[in-house]
Amino acid sequence: MSKNRVPRHVGFIPDGNRRWATNGGLPKQDGYAHGIEPGLLLFEQCKHLAIEEASIYCYTKDNMKRPAAQQQGFIEASVAFAREIAARGAAVLVVGDETSAKFPRELLEFRQRRGAGMKVNLLMNYGWEWDLAGIKNGGLRSQEVSRLDLIVRWGGGRRLSGFLPVQSVYADFYIRDEFWPDFEPDHFEQALAWYRQQDQTLGG
């Protein structure tokens, strides 16, 4: 494999926001706003590397079991991030259950992809069961999202947590122990260096 090769589609699980806030003496819900700027840094890094598509786990239907202040925190952070990357030219698609009150009304227009730049898929009010249930009506509800090559997760978790299960079938999975608000561009560079060493045969 070329040592300069980059994956076509990368998924990101930016976990650890609440733990980061707690460690800093802040309310848990304050951690999400501190994840916006790292997300913008990563977005610009992906553009610079000519990555074609990125999928980002913003919040899930299961996250709606958390206290109301935390729900508000990650919804507001997700909306702010979506608006900013759209303004920077991303081709944004928001994937999630828009029939629920937990889906931000101001992002309904992005249930259809908008823009012509790098594809960015934002999972908001997403659930794997909700996604797969679309098969009964002819296809995945995330059918516009392509197969993932690499998934990078912050916060030390060693699980997918329901992240795009069909698109993840052959993805390589790289873990960072740092909490998401402590993101550094070198984290992703190291993930890419690790990815280049993997044997991507897709079972062949």
pLDDT tens figures, 24-55:
999 999 999 999 999 999 999 999 999 999 99
pLDDT score of 203 more than 70? no
* pLDDT tens-digit map of 67-77: 999 999 999 99
- Cα–Cα distance measured from residue 164 to residue 60, given in angstroms and rounded to the nearest whole number: 11
pLDDT score of 140 more than 70? yes
pLDDT value of position 199:
80
User: Could you tell me which of 81, 87, 76 has the C-alpha nearest to residue 39?
Assistant: 81
Residues near 26 by beta carbon (within 8 Å), at least 6 away in sequence: none
Q: Kindly tell me the burial class for residue 116, based on how many C-beta atoms sit within 10 Å of its own C-beta (0-12, 13-18, 19 or more).
A: exposed
pLDDT value of position 200:
74
The partner residues of 190 in beta bridges, in order of sequence, read none
